[in-house]
Amino acid sequence: MAINGAIIGALLFSSPEIIPEGIKYIRLIDPIEVPDPEPIPPEPIKQKVEPKPAPASQITPTTLVFPPKDSGFIVEKPLGDTPPLPGTIGPGTVVQDPPHNPIFVGPQIARKYLNAFQPPYPPGKQRLGEEGVVVVRVLVGADGRVKQVERVEAADDAFYEVTVSQALRKWRFTPATRDGVPVEGWREMTVRFEITG
């Protein structure tokens, strides 16, 4: 094979004029200038258009009706004049904050006036050696002064009368507050009349 290849190679190099059979001539054609094709314009970028929501007047409220579990589908029906289900919000609904429970702090005894709370002992009761207890409810104003006294319990009218007089004239309180704002408030007070030494 090497010998055959060498012979064929020698023949080709020694006779460049040999033209293979079937080819009469070869003519070279000058290249024709073909204009470059026009560039294809880029496709315009399509902007994503968000669908506009329908006006509230065109929204039809719907509710879900659940058929029996074995049916495998859910039917949707318009609400019409049916009120919305609890916990749902329909068009035009105003959402309100949950009601606020105000923080109320009752009236407190003003420590500065602590010594003024004991009424004077009724002289007749003191001579007789009688003791007693008076329980009253007092309405304390926003200014800390007693505005009204109600009798809850009293051992004697004399004890009650001196208690009312002392409460209206001398008792002072830190007023009740609702969310930090001074307001009127009731407080129950017990006064003891005891004879000591």
pLDDT tens track for 137-188? 999 999 999 999 999 999 899 999 999 999 999 999 999 999 999 999 999 9
What is the reported pLDDT for 64? 46
H-helix or E-strand spanning residue 7 = helix 2-14
What is the reported pLDDT for 15? 54
What is the reported pLDDT for 196? 80
Q: Which residues of the chain have pLDDT under 50?
A: 23, 25, 57, 59-60, 62-67, 71-79
Who's near 138: CB < 8 A, 6+ residues apart?
A: 146, 148, 149, 150, 167, 171, 186, 187, 188, 189
Strand 132-140's sheet: what is its strand order?
146-154, 132-140, 185-193
Domains and CATH numbers, the chain: 104-193 (3.30.2420.10)
What is the reported pLDDT for 73? 47
Q: Return d(Cα 173, Cα 77) in angstroms, integer.
A: 64
What is the reported pLDDT for 77? 47
pTM, 2 dp: 0.50
